[in-house]
Structure 1
Amino acid sequence: MPSLRSMSAVLAAALLAVTTAACGSGSGEEPLTDDALVVYSGRNENLVAPVLKKLEAATGIDVQVRYGGSSELAAQLLEEGENTKADLFFSQDAGALGALGKADRLETLDPATTGKVLDGFADPQGHWVATSARARVVAYDPKQVPEAETWTTVDEVLDPKYKGKIGYAPSNASFQSFVTALRVTKGEAGAKKWLEDFKANEPKAYDNNILVLDAVDSGQVGLGLINHYYWYERVAEKGASAVNAKIRFLGSDDPGALVNVAGVGILKGSNQKPAATKAIDYLLSPEGQQYFADETAEYPVVEGVKSTKHDIVPLAELKRSSVDLNSLDSLEKTLALLDEVGLT
């Protein structure tokens, strides 16, 4: 039984909050229809609605979107089973896609589609393919923690000298994926010990990664655990000279060097498989990949596409965690561990 199926009370409440919206209107009032390509999107509407509109224009496909959290939508898709109206699942992270793949709810994609991306950015079984990638980084205040410039492991933040000087976003899906990577690499006991040591350093919790970066940039904390693109977006907005915070790519096989993905998979039983395949191919096209590279400061996953707005270290040059992205599907265990340690 897939791990996401039993997220009962919390997920049930979250599912009630999932809104339905047509891509073009954003009204949340239009019912999903069988003659449109229905996308369940765990990606934020503000981030991806523009590219989905571009997709409509480029392909001539009528797209309708239901937005929500990736894990909540994955749980809903497992409950809906073959009765779902969804044709395409657009996930914020690989874990939710992995859960659906393990539950045999995703079609096998055409190798011509999965073969478009860089090695390691498609499911080996062909159940899903990445559309963009993001790296975990350590944001740091060079005045308080200049030594972070040379770090290669996230374990450095456990040093007691950083007590009260670390920011993190416990409710953020990317932080939770990082903790899942901790569990995969260190084992359950090792991950629990890491989190207990982290808690002992009295980290400061923030609602999101933007606020974590704000805290580092203003000197409220010396360190922050975030994704790379928040910093690049800040630099693009204000200019490098106006941003005090720096970021460190750990550049090692370490949970803190996790490169997670947003990705897509086609739901089994979809009567829109050709349209869904066409949509995926658009997201992997030069135009689609350029959108992610420029507008969201994420990594394109197709070779040869570079951002025209952000000077980001190329994805192919990053040394990253070797964690199998499909193994990030055990979110339920991660949330239970965070709750047990008291970091929720």
Structure 2
Amino acid sequence: MERRDTDGSMGTAMNRRRFLGATAVSIGSLTVAGCMGSSGEDPFDDYGPQAAAVESSAVSWDDLGDLEGELTIYSARSQDQIQPLFDALEERYDDFEIRDDYDDEDDQLVSLLEEGENSPADLYYTQSSGELARVKAEGLARELPEDVIGAVDDNYRDSDGQWTGASGRVRAIQYNTDEFDAEELPDDIFEYAEDERFQDIISTRPNSGTFRSFIIAMIEAEGEEATRDWVSSMVDDQNATLYNSGSQQAEAVANGEQQVALGNQYYAGRIVGNDPDAPIDVTFTNNDPGCLFNVSGVAILDGENKKPNLAAEFTRHVIAAEGQEFFVDTNGEYPVIDGVDYVGELPTLEEINPLEFDLNQLSDLEPANDLLREEGMM
């Protein structure tokens, strides 16, 4: 079993009309009573929108209220996947600053749990719903504004409204098109641990929250014994290569270093978006944990010294049209509102049959961590 500890990131190509427009020019925004003052306080009385409410039909940043003040965000998303959006918002709003703290999801979650309500963070932005569900379970999240809850599809947010997805991804089978056709690849995730064709040519990324969420979904759907057998076979029989970077895992498939990879669909989508001739594509398993739909998303944190209204308005910008188009165009992810379509090179969600799964069940990833460690995958 080979482990790749590389953490490189790939460049992004922002090419959509509204996001480019938002970053290229300074657009006059609405003057709203009660904006953040020099004291850095959050003077609003409630989560109500400063201007227009966000809707599932996708309002524009032009319609939303100003972002003013300083917002502290703990981010467990890769910096290259989210920093361009942060930069665009800071460029648009002269009096807005994001104090970002990047770390992997385990360390960020530990920090939040240790700091509790005294955490300096106003908002938690992470790559998997599991961490959001854990923050909710620990009582650290506030209920989101009603318009945000109403705008995001029920399947993409917490049923109690304490966190929301910002963009979606599906577990997929990435493959090198010079080596395989989609029709040759199984639509059952268990076959990838059993079929000798994949020995020494398959990879996965066990350090990611979405992989461990996939393991929890497998435990829930198929049982611990079957899951343990799958992990053991991937390690001992298939000699799977283990990556620490989703971008480099996908790049290894595209350059022929690996032939098959288990990972999120958007990593392949980013490569094909930049180079339509790249020899990489994805296929999906059918209604099993191998095609688990998950979300990257946000929770507004609870505590006396927080800025919930600024965090709420920031969240509206994330799920407004320009924010959603950023995720589609730059990251190859799926939007979480109806008013923006996925227009990438990969299948739409309507063409996939993902496993139906309550994402709040992913709040405790320790069983996955324990199993992976015991079977030598971590």
Please report the TM-score for the alignment, with normalisation by the length of structure 1: 0.82
1:125–1:332 distance in 2 versus 1, CA, 3 Å: same
Partner residue in 1 for 2:60? none
Check the 8 A contact 1:184/1:323 in 2, yes or no.
no
Partner residue in 2 for 1:190? 226
How far residue 134 of structure 1 moved from its aligned partner, in angstroms, is: 1.0
d(CA) in 2 for partners of 1:174, 1:320: 14
Which residue of 141, 166, 170 corresponds with 2:202? 166
1:114–1:155 distance in 2 versus 1, CA, 3 Å: same
How far residue 144 of structure 1 moved from its aligned partner, in angstroms, is: 3.9
5+ residue gaps in structure 1?
A: 1-32
How far residue 146 of structure 1 moved from its aligned partner, in angstroms, is: 3.3
Check the 8 A contact 1:74/1:97 in 2, yes or no.
no
Check the 8 A contact 2:199/2:238 in 1, yes or no.
yes
d(CA) in 1 for partners of 2:244, 2:110: 23
5+ residue gaps in structure 2?
A: 1-39, 42-68
How far residue 83 of structure 1 moved from its aligned partner, in angstroms, is: 1.1
Which residue type is aligned with residue 267 of structure 1?
L
1:317–1:148 distance in 2 versus 1, CA, 3 Å: closer
SS at match of 2:151: coil
Matched, 1:204 2:241: yes
The structure number with the bigger radius of gyration is 2
How far residue 175 of structure 1 moved from its aligned partner, in angstroms, is: 2.3
d(CA) in 2 for partners of 1:53, 1:212: 27
How far residue 53 of structure 1 moved from its aligned partner, in angstroms, is: 2.6
Which residue type is aligned with residue 139 of structure 1?
Q
How far residue 189 of structure 1 moved from its aligned partner, in angstroms, is: 2.0
Partner residue in 2 for 1:286? 321
Check the 8 A contact 2:166/2:319 in 1, yes or no.
yes
1:212–1:52 distance in 2 versus 1, CA, 3 Å: closer
How far residue 169 of structure 1 moved from its aligned partner, in angstroms, is: 2.2
How far residue 341 of structure 1 moved from its aligned partner, in angstroms, is: 0.5
SS at match of 2:120: coil
How far residue 219 of structure 1 moved from its aligned partner, in angstroms, is: 3.6
Larger relative contact order, structure 1 or 2 (CA cutoff 8 Å, min sep 6): 2
Partner residue in 1 for 2:296? 262
How far residue 57 of structure 1 moved from its aligned partner, in angstroms, is: 4.5
Partner residue in 2 for 1:253? 287
Check the 8 A contact 1:185/1:323 in 2, yes or no.
no
Please report the TM-score for the alignment, with normalisation by the length of structure 2: 0.75
How far residue 307 of structure 1 moved from its aligned partner, in angstroms, is: 4.9
RMSD of the alignment, in Å?
2.1
Partner residue in 1 for 2:261? 224
Matched, 1:141 2:167: no
Write 1 or 2 for the structure with the bigger share of helix.
1
Deviating more after overlay: 109-118 vs 49-58: 49-58
Mapping of 1:80-91 within 5 angstroms? 80-91=115-126
SS at match of 2:333: coil
Matched, 1:342 2:376: yes
Mapping of 1:46-195 within 5 angstroms? 46-58=80-92, 60-146=95-181, 148=183, 151-161=186-196, 162-195=198-231
Q: Alignment identity in percent?
A: 29
How far residue 194 of structure 1 moved from its aligned partner, in angstroms, is: 1.5
CA deviation string 1:14-41 (max 9, x = no partner): xxxxxxxxxxxxxxxxxxx876221111
CA deviation string 1:269-312 (max 9, x = no partner): 1531111110100101001111111111111111121356x234
d(CA) in 2 for partners of 1:143, 1:156: 21
d(CA) in 2 for partners of 1:54, 1:247: 30
SS at match of 1:115: helix
Which residue type is aligned with residue 154 of structure 2?
D
Check the 8 A contact 2:130/2:209 in 1, yes or no.
no
Q: How many residue pairs align between the two structures?
A: 308
